[in-house]
Amino acid sequence: MYADDILLLAPSVHSLQILVSACESMLGQLDFAINVRKSVCIRIRPRYHFSCSPILLSDGSEMQWVDNVRYLGVCVTRSTHHVFFDNAKKSFYRSFNAIFGKIGRIAPENIVRQLIKSKFVPVLLYAVDACPINRTLERSLQFFSFH
């Protein structure tokens, strides 16, 4: 749970249904409800490609099963081995371009380098420690490291 985001993890679809029902019941006591338009389910590893039974809410609506989900800035996909940093790279370039567009070539190179290292690389590498990294991805991220 983080702010208004709740992540439920379960070992099976049946267990997930039980968790969602319990969560919905508790939220109901607090006069909150699960927003089915913003809430999704994803099945990760090893049987990710099998279809799942719908997860139902008490009003009869179904939560959608998706291939990808973004939680706290980390993109999780249903496949077995892929971790995608496309959103992180976009955020990196967006942040860099916003600042560099203002300072242009006015700032010395060492200042720009330190700014990139301290402000923009953390945006790119957020939660990378929790993700499996293959050699291709590692090489693509090395481009952003500064010594």
pTM of the model: 0.59
Tell whether the model's pLDDT for residue 12 goes beyond 80. yes
Q: 85, 126, 71, 118: which is closest to 99 by C-alpha?
A: 118
Band of residue 21 on the pLDDT scale cut at 50, 70, 90: very high
* Model pLDDT for residues 92-144, shown as the tens digit of each residue: 788 878 887 887 778 888 887 787 778 777 766 666 666 666 777 677 666 65
pLDDT at site 58: 92
DSSP state of 43: -
Band of residue 91 on the pLDDT scale cut at 50, 70, 90: confident
Residue 25 half-sphere exposure toward CB, CA atoms < 13 A: 6
Per-domain boundaries in the chain: 13-77, 86-142
